[in-house]
Structure 1
């Protein structure tokens, strides 16, 4: 064990900037919660900003995802094959680096509504009511500062997603207006999306291994999504400033569609960093605007190009990570009055 640990330390000190990967933990549980109500908490949206009876639910109104992440488990299927595959665009100076393979499984639900949820009739100039319940699996390969991931999401869109029940129950509990238009939601149909991402981490303010202080880096990325739920191409990047940047390669994961992130980290002690991110998407399909694939349904004319800006912070202890991200998304469809603003909270526990 001591020999293996000594070898690991040697690998970490090859570069003047530390290699980014979760070395001292193999598993993590995580939860992400996204909701547009955070915009009201921060004063970014007033309750009467769009309609006299507007109560905060509109567009992408809520998302939740629970995940389990496992790293470098050699007994898992295809581990040997995956760690030996060539990485596209791999830099020559990373040729002797160890490849780290991360597996993730998660369960999630997204909820989408038009602006005015008090109307029971179909709002033809607004987006459809829609729910999405899905199971996903992600495999990420990291070598040095290069990363690529492949994600497969399968699930159901429509009443079987349980979105109506979740939103109605929650509104009853908090004693606010009940949504009246769920009879107009998209029909039941299977959902499938494959998502491929590449990213490279580039230090801007380098620290020597073991040095304590503030660092800065930028991570450009590119993503291709194909499926019945999302089909798009996106490019963007994330700038991070703070301490403990080497504990993970990117800021924490968010719910798709989003900029890429991580769900496992390394290191000890307490650290904190802030970040900003941008992404542009060329959209061919968004099921929550384009409607059902296999049946007639309400749909709305979407924007072909969508931009996204995010800002947030990440705090670490030895085994916990808490982050908050606020997302500003440009208009996604023609009749949308304003862009979409929502917050994302992520909590991760290492084991």
Structure 2
């Protein structure tokens, strides 16, 4: 009798452990860090969009509270970011030699991400911050170059002047096709920017191939977090992706300065049509996601500036 009780107890403990392990795969929150830099191209380039650093916090809404049956998942996102731009080099002390303004952008943003059961994703975000010296981009680049032993920068005295930066961003992604084995899909990825910093719209195609998950479970859309999901575990992912994108630029304050009485010493007109090709690889399992990508962008400035490219390294941790 005692032996039978022990067996029942051991079996109960074993089942509990298995259930705990399964349910432990659901994580409701995520922290991410993203770094853009042309140094990630590994051949010494240092120009134009030269550095970006972003921190993200995301939290999933309890899916039991979603009254709309067409919505699969909703997540909220808070982020802070800094972007810096230079001419062909970070050392161009004379303004007449600068083919792009020195400029910095610092912001905080709140965003909601809505995942539809009809294979659509909507992302709506509002950002507030500043361009100009108040972005501390000059200090950041100086510190970065001193830390890694790069050349001294010069030319930031002529950077874009301070101005308030308020921007609304709306992104929409829709599935076009996915093969039967769910190892390849193609999506339409569009974006609208309205504000004092960036205004314009873009059309892109997202191609993924490999071990991929649906939109509302994929690391590409930062959707591996959930609360009270019907799933006990989300499958690991490892895939490659490519996204060609065409943008129409209405206004870019990092090139043109403030749209309200700008007094920046060096400004240019923005190139209205910009083509971009992004390629990358993504891995995700349990708590961790890793991403590496390269972005190739056509000429953005109406000057003798060239096209350029940069790399992105990102990591996410769920809890």
TM-score by length of 1: 0.76
- Kindly indicate which of the two structures has a greater share of residues assigned to helix: 2
CA distance in 2, matches of 1:154, 1:327: 25
Note the C-alpha offset of 1:248. Answer: 5.1
CA distance in 2, matches of 1:197, 1:287: 21
Q: Secondary structure at the match of 2:54?
A: strand
Indicate conservation of the 8 Å contact 2:193/2:199, yes or no: yes
Q: Secondary structure at the match of 1:34?
A: strand
CA distance in 2, matches of 1:304, 1:250: 33
State yes or no: 1:108 paired with 2:78: no
Note the C-alpha offset of 1:251. Answer: 6.3
Indicate conservation of the 8 Å contact 1:131/1:162, yes or no: yes
- 1:91 aligned residue: none
> Mind listing any 5+ residue stretches in structure 1 that lack a counterpart?
1-22, 48-55, 85-95, 208-213, 253-261
Note the C-alpha offset of 1:122. Answer: 1.3
- CA distance 1:124–1:291, change in 2 (3 Å): farther
Task: Give matches, 1:1-351, under 5 Å.
Answer: 24-39=26-41, 41=42, 43=43, 47=44, 56-73=45-62, 84=68, 96-123=69-96, 126-144=99-117, 145-207=119-181, 215-246=183-214, 252=220, 262-265=221-224, 267-268=233-234, 270-294=236-260, 295-297=262-264, 298-351=266-319
> Mind listing any 5+ residue stretches in structure 2 that lack a counterpart?
1-24, 226-232
Q: Secondary structure at the match of 2:96?
A: coil
Q: Give the aligned CA root-mean-square deviation in angstroms.
A: 2.2
Q: After superposition, give the CA deviation of every residue in 1:259-313 in whole Å (9 maximum; x if it has no partner).
A: xxx2232644643100110111111001111112333222112211001101110
CA distance in 2, matches of 1:24, 1:215: 23
Note the C-alpha offset of 1:30. Answer: 0.6
Note the C-alpha offset of 1:203. Answer: 3.7
CA distance in 2, matches of 1:148, 1:34: 24
Q: Secondary structure at the match of 1:167?
A: helix
- Aligned pair count reads 285
CA distance in 1, matches of 2:235, 2:73: 23
TM-score by length of 2: 0.83
- CA distance 1:312–1:251, change in 2 (3 Å): farther
CA distance in 1, matches of 2:96, 2:60: 46
CA distance in 2, matches of 1:317, 1:247: 16
CA distance in 1, matches of 2:194, 2:213: 31
Q: Secondary structure at the match of 2:142?
A: helix
Q: After superposition, give the CA deviation of every residue in 1:10-58 in whole Å (9 maximum; x if it has no partner).
A: xxxxxxxxxxxxx93321101110001112x1x5xxx5xxxxxxxx321
Indicate conservation of the 8 Å contact 1:114/1:126, yes or no: yes
Note the C-alpha offset of 1:124. Answer: 5.7
Note the C-alpha offset of 1:201. Answer: 2.1
Q: Which structure would you say has the larger Rg?
A: 2
CA distance in 2, matches of 1:123, 1:138: 40
